[in-house]
Chain A
Amino acid sequence: MANEGTHNVEDLHLQNLTKKFGEVAAVDDLTLTIPAGSFFALLGASGCGKTTTLRMVAGLEEPTSGSIHIGQNDITNLRAFQRPVNTVFQSYALFPHLDIFENVAFGLRRRKVKNIDAAVNSMLELVELAPMARRKPTQLSGGQQQRVAVARALINQPDVLLLDEPLGALDLKLRRQMQIELKRIQTEVGTTFVHVTHDQEEAMTMADTVAVMNAGRIEQMGHPADIYELPKTVFVANFLGQANLFAGVRTGTSSDSIEVVANGINFRVLSARNSAPSDEVIVGIRPEKMTILDLHDKETIPSGHNMLEGRVIDVSYAGVSTQYLVETTWGQNVTVFEQNVLVGDRSSVGDPVVLHWSPDHTFGLAGGETVLADTAQILAVGA
């Protein structure tokens, strides 16, 4: 019965979903549609409400208000064992007293499905664990246990598969492998995967759609590349990768761009890449989009590029790239990544340099000094 391919998958809708613990809203009026068959990642720091959201979908936590639908089907008031949703738990929660076969068969047995041997065996084959069928969970390695947890959930052909930090307990190398593995399984079975993680790299590699959560709300949602290239809030810019941010004030508007002055320097931001509603604009740029030049070569910078001058205070060579820390004239530290394509001739500590980048990569965010400070605090607590 596994993988017939005729399985009807439907969208998952969360409508005004709220969960309060006492006075604190862990999930705050969340409305979200997760398209059928997608690999969806909920990304956020610990305590941002992502796990609570997942547990409400699983039926392990009762929403304070709001509703959960799969297609037209309201599952808000169904209990966990009545929902067509299965979970891969953090640290797997495999039943230690049952062998691998029985762990995987558990859901089918509870639903009184007959003749399950073939289904269980083919599921074990999908996760490449057929020879381990008669072992106990403790006899398996972390990666193997992880795959059992996936198999145990998937065999029930859920409408939605929930993954709660599924790779958190694995070491880096195994995590990379499992990322590919999970993506392969998802493509193969076509089930909607909702994946909760605090690891931005994990979310970006696996998911088609990433939703960045902060303080019980979704800050931004979209394709990983789109969010990364054009973050809409300071939190997203900082949480998903790194960003250099300069708080400034809009001083002029032209046909396709705006002028922002920050710390006495003029920056150009394309109107299409500016999400600030007022004149208070934070100018942002990703470290790898900047080019670092010796101050003498300032004339070679293409016209129209944004630029700023500074002094190198730290250089760390990391093989693929070199990371520079540059102190600007007003004392802010700016991070720059440079691909190591050239041999030799790197800037060294103390060198006066000029950084430049294209407005095509520059983004404008809402806020001012206070937003920057607040976000720095949130990120520091979350880390």
Chain B
Amino acid sequence: MRWIKSKLLSVIAVLVLIYLFIPIAVVATLSFNKPEGKYNTSWNQFSLDAWTNICGVPGVCDSFMISVRIGIISTIFATILGTMIAFALVRYRFRGRATTNLLIFLPMTTPEVVMGASLLALFLNLRFPLGETTIIIAHIMFTISFVVVTVKARLQGMDPRLEEAARDLYASPRATFRYVTFPLVAPGIAGAALLGFSLSFDDFIISFFNAGTVVTFPIYIWGAAQRGIPVQVNALATLVFVVALLIVLTSQFVSYRKRKALEAGMSSDPAIAGANVKGLEAAMPRS
């Protein structure tokens, strides 16, 4: 009984993790399947066909590349605009600041169907031809909110004295931004960009309303689902997952290496090791 009690939390945690990863495992496993009929739903036979001939089905790779392109372009715009908005909101007191702060959250809370439909109405009214451009405009619009929120958090967490110190040390406003503010906010901006890209790449509803004849990757899958999803889609999805996983692992590894280097630096210098531990403890919660 006590054994169960003490292990209960771990058991639940493992169960939740399994629940989260079963769908991904199924997708990845089925990418090595050779389906019997047109539906790739049950295991039949191991095969590398989908991986060796990943663009084998017409339209798969085209739609994949379209989504990547849309993702990159809208991420660039959303990151630049969103970062500027975040700076304005944190650094300046202006009329309408509170309103802006509130409005920036709206796209995050509006149901995507509503946003997609109203954007479509807008484009039709303006007689703006639907296509990649309209998708990009829509994507920039809803990813900006996420960029603003992420960068704002980073900026607010920054010690204002660091910029004062830079100004005190002969850095003009431009130099202060370049050598102190930007390097310190950069990780937040990079995080915002990654988030923005994944939101854009994966968006279906808003894109579907405003795509015209353009077929993005999610739209392709949706279309294919009616006739049976080709195994290549599983392979591409697995590929995306692996790439994302690699990015996460790399960043974890880098920070692990940094921490190791820190500890090594301490022990190599026993005279100050004691003092360093104190400094580290003070520094840890911040980093």
A residues lining the B interface (CB < 8 Å): 58-60, 79-81, 85-87, 89-91, 93-97, 106-107, 110-111, 131, 135, 137-145, 152-153, 156
Contact = CB atoms under 8 A, between A and B. Distances in A.
B169 A106 contact: yes
23 contacts: A60-B168, A79-B167, A86-B168, A89-B161, A89-B165, A93-B161, A93-B164, A95-B166, A95-B180, A96-B184, A106-B169, A106-B171, A110-B169, A110-B179, A137-B283, A138-B262, A138-B283, A139-B279, A140-B276, A141-B272, A141-B275, A141-B276, A142-B278
Q: Interface size bucket, B side?
A: 20 to 34
Interface string B155-188: 0000101101111111110011001100110000
B76 interface: no
A142 B183 CA distance: 24
Given A89-B164, A95-B162, A110 B278 contact: no
B280 interface: yes
Nearest to B168: A87
A306 B162 CA distance: 56
Interface string B24-64: 00000000000000000000000000000000000000000
Given A110-B175, A138-B279, A81 B265 contact: no
B2 to A, nearest CB: 42
The binding surface of chain A is classed by DSSP as mixed
A134 to B, nearest CB: 9
A156 B180 contact: no
A60 B275 contact: no
A107 to B, nearest CB: 4
Nearest to A89: B161
Contact of B282 (A96, A107, A142, A152): A142
Contacts of A131: 269
Contacts of A153: 168-169
A58 B165 CA distance: 10
B170 A110 contact: yes
The 9 closest A-B pairs by CB, nearest first: A141-B275, A138-B283, A107-B169, A93-B161, A141-B279, A110-B170, A80-B167, A93-B165, A87-B168
Given A81-B170, A139-B265, A95 B272 contact: no
A135 B282 contact: no
Nearest to A111: B170
A135 B183 contact: no
Interface in B131-173: 159, 161-162, 164-172
B266 interface: yes
B287 interface: yes
Given A97-B184, A139-B265, A87 B165 contact: yes
Given A87-B165, A141-B278, A135 B265 contact: yes
Given A81-B168, A95-B165, 15 more contacts: A59-B167, A85-B168, A87-B164, A91-B161, A93-B159, A93-B162, A94-B165, A95-B180, A97-B183, A106-B179, A107-B169, A139-B276, A142-B282, A144-B275, A144-B279
Contacts of A79: 167
Contacts of A137: 283
A139 B278 contact: no
A96 B184 CA distance: 8
Contacts of B183: 97
